[in-house]
Amino acid sequence: MRKLTFLFAFILFALALSATEKDKKEKAEKADYDIVYVTGNVSDYYTGETLVGVEVQLEGTDAKTYTDLDGNFQFENIRSGEYNIIVNYISYEKTTIEKQKVELYSEPVKIKLEPVK
């Protein structure tokens, strides 16, 4: 009887451990999809010329970057969701792109800045 009780307890423990490992694996796979990256391009509203060194920030986070020589920017390791993107550049109007949806397969964000009048 004692061996049977031990065997039963061992089987229950093994099943619980197996379920825990399965849950961990599923959560890890889901977490991979929760962490995404955001790309985009900033250009002049009227000329279409790309703008270099534009400050781009995700509101409510510490994430901030600047456009490269081709006007492109990228944020890495961002949680999927909706963000306001704040764009700031000297001699141009400060612009906020509201509720930009950020998902695993998001399209690049195209931003056109208007010069200050």
What tokens does 25 get?
Answer: 């694996």
For the chain, which domains are there? Answer: 35-113 (2.60.40.1120)
Integer Cα distance of 90 and 92 in angstroms: 6
Where would I find the H helices in 35-94? none
Question: What is the pLDDT, as a whole number, of residue 4?
Answer: 57
pTM over 0.95: no
Could you report the per-residue pLDDT of 50-65, keeping only the tens digit for each?
Answer: 999 999 998 888 888 9
Strand order in the sheet with 72-79: 72-79, 35-44, 109-113
Question: What is the pLDDT, as a whole number, of residue 104?
Answer: 66
Residues of the chain with pLDDT under 50: 28, 31-32
Which residues, in sequence order, are CB contacts of 39 under 8 Å at separation 6+? 72, 73, 74, 75, 108, 109
